[in-house]
Amino acid sequence: MKKKENILPAVMMIGVIACMCAVSEILKDREIIFPEIAALALGYLCAPKRSWQVNSIRMFLCISLCAVLGLCISIWMPGTLYLKLVTAYIIAQIIFLFSGTTLAPLISAVVLPVLIRSKSISYVLSASLMCALVILLHAFLVRKGIRQAEPYHPVEKPDGMRLTKMAIRTMVMALVAAAAVVSDWLFLIAPPILVAFTELSENWTPASSLKPWKVILLLSGCAAGGGLCRYFLTVRLGLPLTFSAVPASVIMCVLVYRTEMFMPPAGAMTLLAMLVPQQAVLLYPIEACLGISIYMLSTIGMYRLYHPHTI
C-alpha cells in the first residue's frame, strides 16, 4: 500500500475516535463511546479491501437497528444479566445470518449495551451518527481514488451448516458467559471477542493467514494498549479520556499495519478499554486474552468437527 493510502484513512479513524471521546467527556455521558466504531472505521476506511460483504445503507440500518434492540434488552427485558447477554447474542446472530451481509460488528451493537447496562438513548444516537460519519468518510476516500468502490452481493440465506455453527457458538458463549458472570470477569465475553469468534468460525481455515496465535496476540495487544494508555494517562496522571484513546488508537494502527492483519475487532478491543470500570483497567487485557484464547480454540474445534481429516 502506498503511504497516502495508509496515512489518510488512519488519521480519519483516529479523528473519529477522538471526536467521539471528546463529546462523551464534554457531555459527561460515557455511553456516547461506541467501541465498535473503531472496528467499522478499520474495516471500511483502513483495510485495503472492504472487510465485509455489505453496502453503506445496509451497514447504517444494521448498526442502528441492533443498537436499538440492545438498548431495549438492557432496559426492558426481565431476568438476570446472564439471561440478557445470551438472549442478545442469539438475536444478534439471527440478524447477522439473515441480514444478507457479513457485517459481524452488528453483534457488538446488540450485546454491548447489555454488558454495560446501558439505559440512555445517547448510545443509539452515537452508534448511528458515528456509523454515518464513517460511511461519509468512506465515500470521500472512494471519490479521491484512495479506496475503490466495491460491488455488494447479497449473502444467501444460511444453510444447515451455518445454522449449526450458530447453535455451537451460542452454546460456547453461554458456557463462557456463565463463568464470566459468576467470576465477575465480564470481559471474557467482550463484544469484540464475540464478533471475532463469529467471523473466524464462519471463515477460518488452517491455510488462512490469520493463524491462531497471531489473532490472539493482535487482539490481546490491542486490549493491552488501550488498557495501559488509560491506566497511565487517565487513571494515574488524571488526563482526559480522549488523551488515552488517541495514543491507544495509534498503537492499534501500528499493530494492524505492521502485521497487515486488518481485523476490525482489533479496533473495538482497543476502544473498549475506555469503558472498562476503572478498578478493572489492568485486569482487562488479561480477561481479553483469556477470552480470545477460549474462542480461538473453539473455532479450531468447530473446524475439526466439519473437516476431521484436514488438520
The pLDDT of residue 206: 66
Q: Give CB contacts under 8 A, 24+ apart, made by 120-125.
A: 120/29, 120/31, 120/71, 121/71, 122/27, 122/29, 122/31, 122/32, 123/31, 123/32, 123/34, 123/67, 123/70, 123/71, 124/64, 124/67, 124/68, 124/71, 125/32
For the chain, give the mean pLDDT. Answer: 93
Domain residues of the chain, as ranges?
3-306
The answer to whether the CB of 155 falls within 8 A of the CB of 202 is: no
Quote the CA–CA distance of 99 and 187 in Å, as a whole number: 27
Interval 15-64: pLDDT, tens: 999 999 999 999 999 999 999 999 999 999 999 999 999 999 999 999 99
Interval 276-287: pLDDT, tens: 999 999 999 999
The pLDDT of residue 305: 78
The answer to whether the CB of 52 falls within 8 A of the CB of 104 is: yes
Interval 211-228: pLDDT, tens: 889 999 999 999 999 999
Q: What average pLDDT score do residues 127-136 get?
A: 97
Backbone angles phi, psi at 205, to 5 degrees: -140, 155
Say which amino acid occupies 5: E
The answer to whether the CB of 116 falls within 8 A of the CB of 275 is: yes
Say which amino acid occupies 110: V
Residue 253 — very low, low, confident or very high, per pLDDT cuts 50/70/90?
A: very high
The pLDDT of residue 93: 97
The answer on pLDDT for 184 being more than 70 is yes
Maximum CA pair distance of the chain? 57
How much of the chain, in percent, has pLDDT values that exceed 70?
95
Cα–chain center distance at 104: 8
The pLDDT of residue 310: 56
The answer on pLDDT for 3 being more than 70 is no
The answer on pLDDT for 4 being more than 60 is no
From 6-15, 72-81, 296-305, the region with the lowest mean pLDDT? 296-305
Quote the CA–CA distance of 21 and 134 in Å, as a whole number: 15
Q: What average pLDDT score do residues 200-209 get?
A: 76
From 109-118, 157-166, 300-309, the region with the lowest mean pLDDT? 300-309
Residue 1 — very low, low, confident or very high, per pLDDT cuts 50/70/90?
A: very low
